Structure 1
């Protein structure tokens, strides 16, 4: 054999070894990672756990606001706002337009606050409760349907995100709790304020992220008497719901999300490939849901600044917004503009009242303001996106509970079924909606409800 033959065989041998190595790695990526162990009773309240004895009572919770707080807010809003004029011809491209912000503040002071008793009564229309779990006061709305012949009642854990609140669910709860001739099921809704949001107490300890919150939310469902339940969520609610299905699948009848996303390496490979070659991986009728690689990169750089701040220095930005109603409104409402439809950025009013009423938007702002929860809500980012959380490898654990994915065209990002199925091995429902954005439960409640009912009929009959 000449030298050429030797080097050829050497080349073939090296190629085979490299190919085998990558095949081994890819095969490992298709396997499920082990479910991480979490303590169901870990204490997150102030001080030492040694003196803590959990009060398991579930009792009504009064969300009334002290009149002096409303008076103080009126006084703050009455001060002439000192704002920088926007650049000429600019809408919301640089953030909240200061010209329109003056209109929002004026409406808040002269139209909204004078009818606060009416708005407060609206927020109280559903039964509110509290209980103590793992050292934290947890607030939740609990609405039971009226007994209806021929309809099976199914418990549903409904989870919101940031910068939303339980206010997002006020239009969909009545739909979920009333019988539907197209479904054999009606839903008993438990809608908690996420820990550190609204009336739910924030953790006093570091290390409390979306994974740990999943345990608290699951424990809440056990506390109200439900060993098995459905989960629905968007934004943080989607991730927390996914974590519940990952950590405690024995309690989850099914998981439905309107933000279907995870960070499994194999899913990322599919995502990059799809971004470069959308025509290969996406059906033609769904192409407008997905951005090219360059579009996606530019969009995320432009819209993720808040994420980096809150994931690194939540207390700094929280301090800037605490007891600062004008700043709080600008910071939160800007997201309700761009995340509802990115095209609204070119509008001076951000298109805010195209899909929501100003009262709806201010209800949500008021929940953050009267509970002083903006800082604790933002800490969820820093506690969820860190080395300790990533080390648990939740994205690598397969989920086998019946899963549904509803995509709304203007949401921040989307994943194909191939990407979703890397983690969720029982994807039984996948839809694309040409209307709606990030806050689907609040913007298009009927569409989200109809989607969920179709999914639930499939999941519960399995």
Structure 2
């Protein structure tokens, strides 16, 4: 009150011209502030664009029918696999090297022995066909997806949800979480669509250059529209995180909520300042104790580990076809290449273990089923090309990097994720965060590793969004 009285006395002590100058300056400042607030609240979007990735010429009207699809195998396919496995050459590992040099050949022999003599691919094909599979033609490509509806109950509100995988995963990552999402949890139940990214698994690979996350986002928006959904929820990790984020940027009016288990922010002064101040005065830059624990020392916990673990990215973002021809020809090479990621990205500490800690979170049947999806479809090279297409130019200059995300967003920060992103960083890009959860355990493959944890966080996020939607109507 004393300050207000001083300001009043100062103002009325000015002459008329000075008072007008003060009023004008205040009005201008208020106008600028109002404009900034309006711009932040204004939901921006990025262009949908267009594309055609098929071999044939684009027709005037594309076939929009949806066809049932079944995963199949044959004795010939299995015999070929076994013959190739039997001809494998191994290199002895260095002493006490664990997984620091990559997949240990000592443990690889054990995995391959199980694959050759005990793994039953025909039984796993039956497991894959547990849920209904479909294909539909979009932008010249046969796009594969599974569509799982919940059991019918009277007066039950069903929410459409798309789950999107990444590399080197597949739609199969979600098989453990699907029963949790399609059963009523706290009044929330989902109808789930899990597509395969074009070039992955049973989705046809693009035949032309340029198929990036923006193209995938547009294809999946078309898929949801074709299935009759005008509004829906999205969930993703790895490439699925970027694809679903792009979907929310392209058609924010269609995305009721976006839930991610991997996320990042653009770099800039705020991030640099928080790295300098964060270890000492975390509260000044919006860091929690858990953020400090996960981030610092920054170079040791993040930068050096990222450098150690992203060799594959540089190869795939530059010459995917060169590296890909080897793993596409050798099933054992493919298994080592893929499964090493399921070891390290689950927990970086697994590099110290002789078996890479693989069977702590996964069964060999589940791991090899994911490998077989890549092997039987011959999709490893086209999946690797997705890195090349997304990293041909500076990602920071893409339209999606310059556009905020304004849809309700839920973020699940798993401790085993190779790179931690604090909420204060995420807010630079994701402008409407409803929930940010420090998950107690789990890594990069959240739905595969910790389906119950991920499902619970997703449900709680959706409950918040649905409550807001009801009260705002």
* Partner in structure 1 of residue 114 of structure 2: 107
Distance in 2 (alpha carbons) for counterparts of 1:212 and 1:298: 32
1:186 to 185, 189, 193: 189
User: Contact 2:164–2:235 (CA<8 Å) still a contact in 1?
Assistant: yes
Match of 2:257 among 254, 260, 264: 254
Judge conservation of contact 1:33–1:397 (CA < 8 Å) in 2: no
Q: CA deviation at 1:461?
A: 2.2
2:409 is aligned to 403
Q: Which residue of 2 aligns with 1:69?
A: 77
Q: 2:157 aligns with which of 138, 152, 157?
A: 152
Counterpart of 2:386 in structure 1 is 380
The aligned counterpart of 1:138 is 143
Query: Displacement, 1:65?
Result: 1.8
CA change 1:285–1:424 in 2 (3 A) is closer
Query: Structure 1 residues 44, 268: closer, same or farther in 2, change over 3 A?
Result: farther
- Name the residue aligned to 2:62: 54
Distance 2:409 2:184 in 1: 23
Tell me which residue corresponds to 1:84. 91
Checking the alignment, whether the CA contact within 8 Å between 1:398 and 1:423 is kept in structure 2 is: yes
Secondary structure at the aligned position of 1:63 is classed as: coil
Summarize the Cα distance change of 1:375–1:275 in structure 2 as closer, same or farther, 3 Å threshold: farther
2:51 aligned residue (42, 46, 54): 42
CA distance 1:254–1:167, shift in 2 (3 Å): same
Q: Is the 8 A contact 2:164 2:236 kept in 1?
A: yes
Distance 1:402 1:57, change over 3 A: same
Q: Secondary structure at the match of 1:312?
A: coil
Q: Tell me the C-alpha RMSD between the 2 structures.
A: 2.1
1:270 shift after superposition: 5.6
1:427 to 2:430 alignment? no
CA distance in 2: counterparts of 1:194 and 1:454, whole angstroms? 27
Once residues 70 and 274 of structure 1 are traced to their aligned partners in structure 2, the CA distance between those partners, rounded to angstroms, is 57
Partner of 1:245 in structure 2? Answer: 248
Find the counterpart in structure 2 of residue 326 from structure 1: 332
Q: Cα distance, 1:460 vs. partner?
A: 2.0
CA distance in 2, matches of 1:425, 1:227: 23
Relative to 1, partners in 2 of residues 1:340 and 1:270: Cα closer, same or farther, differing over 3 Å? farther
**Gap regions ≥5 residues in structure 1:** 1-26
Match of 2:121 in 1: 116
Superposition map of 1:206-245 within 5 A: 206-245=209-248
Q: How many residues are paired up? A: 429
Where does structure 2 lack aligned partners over 5 or more consecutive residues?
1-35, 469-473
8 A contact 2:212–2:386 mirrored in 1: yes
The CA deviation string for residues 77-132 of structure 1, in whole angstroms up to 9 with x for no partner, is: 123x32211111110000000111111111100010xx222111111100000000
2:97 counterpart of 1:94: no
* 2:24 aligned residue: none
1:306 is aligned to 312
Q: Does 1:198 align with 2:201?
A: yes
**SS class of match (1:461):** helix
